[in-house]
Structure formats: structure tokens, C-alpha cells
Amino acid sequence: MKTIKGPAIFLAQFADKKKPFNSFKNICAWAASLGYKGVQVPTWEPSFIDLDKAAKSKTYCDELKGIAGEFGIAITELSTHLQGQLVAVNPAYDVMFDAFAPKEVHGKPKARTKWAINTVKKALSASKNLGIKVHATFSGSLMWHTVYPWPQRPTGLVQQGFEELAKRWTPILNHANDCGVDVCYEIHPGEDLHDGITFERFYAAAKKHRRIKMLYDPSHFVFQQLDYLQYIDHYHSFIKMFHVKDAEFNPSGKSGVYGGYQDWIDRPGRFRSLGDGEIDFAAIFSKLTQYGYDGWAVMEWECCIKSGEQGAKEGAPFIADHIIQAAQKSFDDFAGSKSNKAMNRKILGI
């Protein structure tokens, strides 16, 4: 078994024009002061990383690692959640998702898709230059509007949707293979890859590409009422990244899984700061350790009640307390004996 690394923190929700959230150096100093040992970097945030430069220059990437290293911080992974989303966008969402792309491709879905594919490739090149072997992203979605179908889905629609999704991602996955980097899709409502079955269908459509892996975030499974512990049993060989994010689900006689279009504070399913929700993290860390997960445990803060600053302050010790130092020998080794075939045969009576 191996020991999970951490604690680390995803910087996306903390980027701001105010100190200490306004530059990579400042935010690394802040994260270190709270006890974090790593940062997961959103590649769409120019105050943290120049993606074009990182994709081309190992020297620049070494400089970024040096800045983080001043504070005892490692760059754990890069993220293209926003850009990955734009690899596949159903026209129903064009207007809203244009906000994730440069203005020059607004209102131009094909140009936006091309930009997204190229940008994710750049991030994979940057990961290679940083010496990072895993990368976080979203799959995007062509079919989410049919998740609870009325009218019913036409025969073959889902298969065709996954074939198109695989077609768009295959050049990215091939580039990832050239870079020696795994593409870890966050399994997330709103994405075509939102549970185990949809992950399997994409994996099959992409001809079981060796670079298809998974970012595990149990909070998204609480909302779907999916068994997040059994999920690890099924997919542990694919799980290469881990977001430590809490959640709760409080259905009522008025609202359930779909949330009634309410604001986050009023939905039955809500993200919470670590320790404030219902997720059994002791069991999660135990299972991941059992299966040999040795990646980072990365806190993602999205609580609708507690401030980000308080959530971040509490998150580092929470993760540290849950990391299991993996056993290096069996507890009953003291009573064991050396292998002896003759003795074994005698014990077996053969």
C-alpha cells in the first residue's frame, strides 16, 4: 500500500484581485501558512500561470515550481475544467458557456471548440514541462439536456453522442499520451461523464484509450444519491485524482434531486466545507489507501454557508487528520515463520 499525499488546495475559487489571492507567489505563501503542501492550479487564471508560456518553456515551468518551492509548496496538478467543458457544448448552452472563452470566439461554436481543444493540449504540454503525470478537466456535454428525457430519446442518440464526444477528445488523448500525462475527467452532473455508467460508455467509445482516467469527488455523488464508497470499489484503477469536498442532501416534500431551480442555500443538495456535510471521509481515505491511491488529496471549497477563508483554514488539518500512513508490514508478522516448502507439505498433509 501507499500513502496519500496532502493536504493540497484547488486555487480556482480563491483567485481575486486582492492580496494574498492576486498572484501565484502570494497565494502559495497563503496556502503554506495554513498548512497546505500543494496547490492545484486553474490554467484559465492568468495571475497564476501563463499557459502559452508554460506549454512551450520548461524554464518558465521550473520558475513556477521554484516560486512554489520557496514556501514548501508543490504544484500538484493543472486544471482545464472550464476549457474542457468547451470541447463539447450543446447549442442550448452556447450563450452561457461563451463566458468561458475569449471574446473572439463568442457566437462561433466551431471556433470555440477548436480553441478549447488546442487549449487543453497546451495545458497537457505544460503538465509535461512541470513534470506532472495527471491532469484535471471536464468532459463537456452534448446530451445533458436529455438526462431526464421528455420527449423520449430517439434510438441511437446516446451512442451517437458518445461517439462524437470520443471523436473530439481522441486527438487530445493522443497528445496526452505523447506527453505522458493521464487525463482525469471529473465525474460531475452537467457533464456527459456524470456517473459510472456514462464513464464506461465514453471509455468504450474512445476504444479504451489508455490515458482516460478519473478525478474522484464524492460530493457530486451525494447529490445523485449514488454510493460513493462502492464507486471506489468499481473504479479504483481509474482514480488518479481526488477532490476532498463535503456535501449534504436534505430532500423534503417540496424538493429533491433536481433542486427546484433554487439558489444553492435553499437546495436539498448543497456543497459544504469539510466536516460540515455528511460524507464519510474516514471510509473514503481508508478505501483509497487500501487500493494503493498515492496521488494528492486536494481540498475544493464551494460551501454556500461558510466563508472560503474559514473553509481553507479548517481544510488543511481536516485532510491531514484523515491521511492514513499506509502499513509497510502485516500486524501479525511477529508470529510468522520463513517459507519452507517441506514444512508447508507437512501442515497440508501432502
When mean pLDDT is compared across 104-118, 170-184, 217-231, 334-348, the lowest value belongs to: 334-348
Query: Distance between CA 22 and CA 24 in Å, rounded?
Result: 7
Q: Look at domain 5-348 and name its CATH class.
A: alpha beta
Query: Distance between CA 83 and CA 118 in Å, rounded?
Result: 9
Q: Would the pTM of this model clear 0.85, i.e. be above it? A: yes
Decide if 298 contacts 244 (C-beta within 8 A): yes
Mean pLDDT of 97-115: 98
Decide if 181 contacts 124 (C-beta within 8 A): yes
Decide if 200 contacts 166 (C-beta within 8 A): no
pLDDT digits (tens, 9 = 90+) for 321-335: 999 998 877 666 655
Mean pLDDT of 49-74: 98
φ and ψ at residue 314, rounded to 5 degrees: -80, -20
Domain boundaries, the chain: 5-348
pLDDT beyond 60 at 264: yes
Look up cell 455508467; give the residue: 197
Q: Is 177 left (phi over 0), alpha (psi -120 to 50) or beta?
A: alpha
Mean pLDDT of 58-63: 98
**Angle at which helices 281-290 and 308-322 cross, to 10°:** 50
pLDDT digits (tens, 9 = 90+) for 6-40: 999 999 999 999 999 999 999 999 999 999 999 99
pLDDT at 335: 59
Decide if 4 contacts 294 (C-beta within 8 A): yes
Query: Distance between CA 308 and CA 319 in Å, rounded?
Result: 16
pLDDT digits (tens, 9 = 90+) for 143-201: 999 999 999 999 999 999 999 999 999 999 999 999 999 999 999 999 999 999 999 99
Partners of residue 241 on adjacent β-strands: 215
